[in-house]
Amino acid sequence: MTNPPPAPFRHEPYQAGPLVGGRAPSGPQLPAPPPRPPARRGPSWGAVIAIVAASTALAGLIGGVGGAVIRGGGDSTATTTKAVSQGGEVARPSGSIAAIAAHAVPSVVTVWVDAGNRSGSGSGWVYDTEGHIVTNNHVVDAAASGSGSITVEQTDGTRAKATLVGRDVSYDLAVLKVDLKGVNPLPVGRSSDVVVGDEVVAVGSPLGLDSTVTSGIVSALERPVTAGESGQESFISAIQTDAAINPGNSGGPLLDRNGAVIGVNSAIAQMPGQPGASGNIGVGFAIPSDQVARTVDQLIKTGKAVHPIIGVSLDRQYLGEGARVLSDAQGQGSPVVAGGPADRAGIKPGDIIVEVDGKRIATPDQLIVRIRAKDVGDTVTVKVKRDGKERSMTMTLEAAKD
């Protein structure tokens, strides 16, 4: 796909309590820290629910949760872990929620953004020993032009100015650099090993309440989530969870029972027709750690990420099953890019793509999400319908050109 036409989903601004993260919507404004500001975000998903990214409610920008791929950073094999209670240190079994929280909370930060009337906060987490922090793009978007400032706050209240290393709108990820002392990176697990029913723990700053820990299970995998305004969409093949995710969780980690990051919390569900409603309803969405690790490593290395494409333009007016390639140019150039992966595989204008690697494709967004979840250079098999007949084709994904 090449620069697909705008998705039919948008971030719908919404309000919750103080501190809701989001992708630069309009609405009530608050100053940046010290008073804890808020921000909000709201995408939509499918015909049943609207997705609202975790964010900061009163200002207009932040949200989140985070994830990555196992790099080390904590002892998950000990039989007990020291946790802190109001009465002092206590021992908890390794693998318990209390043990996971004791290890992870110090490595999760609150991200404050001051961009005038678009100030707010979200969450982030320590990715490596070089001081890189992972968060959502929609958390820092308001300050990305250089007109605002970004501050990272640790659990002990220590604050430090952060610089933006790189961000990617399409994957809703951003990397910050900050000078942190005595903080260990979180290990990053493999989201490809996650199964429905796995127990998970989310850590972040929902509603401005830092160091908040919630738990639940993985309730679905490969949930196609498309969020954002026209031309600024994020395409996520998301991990769905019933762990409580609220505005302000955006950019924080979703952890497995070993304390490894398996996702970055990025969105929550909101019932359609209720733009004023907000908060957890048991359906949250995280960017899988396999995608996070690929994208974050690229952002750290070059400041930008590459996006795999097949080289077609999709027909957004088509309402049938599958994703139909435009039948004519419609002012956008050739529907099938000459010499691109789809062209070399034999895809023609008007073909309907109904499967990718044996998995059904129901909508154009689902196709985009499935392709974006792959890596440049991956080989995929697609099934298309043409003149009432199905045929399979194999192609190698290429990087989208700027």
Q: CA-to-CA distance for 345 and 178, rounded, in angstroms?
A: 45
8 A C-beta contact, residue 377 and residue 396? yes
CA angle (59 as vertex; 53, 62 as ends), nearest 5: 35
The residues near 310 (Cβ < 8 Å, ≥ 6 apart) are 1, 340, 341, 342, 347, 371, 380, 382, 395, 397
Cβ(21)–Cβ(250) under 8 Å?
A: yes
Residue 312 in tokens = 């077609």
Q: How far apart are CA 265 and CA 135, in angstroms?
A: 9
Q: How far is 268 from 247, CA to CA, in rounded Å? A: 8
Question: Could you tell me which of 280, 246, 238 has the C-alpha nearest to residue 262?
Answer: 238
Beta bridge partners of 81: 92
E runs forming strands in 129-250 = 132-135, 149-153, 159-168, 173-177, 199-204, 212-227, 234-241
Distance between CA atoms of 56 and 205, rounded to whole angstroms? 9
Count of CB atoms within 10 A of residue 206's CB? 36
Catalytic site residues?
138, 172, 250
Q: What are the E-state strand segments in 6-147? A: 50-52, 65-66, 80-85, 88-93, 108-114, 120-126, 132-135
Q: H-helix or E-strand containing 138?
A: helix 137-140
User: How far lies 223's CA from each of 240, 287, 368, 391, in Å?
Assistant: 7, 10, 12, 26
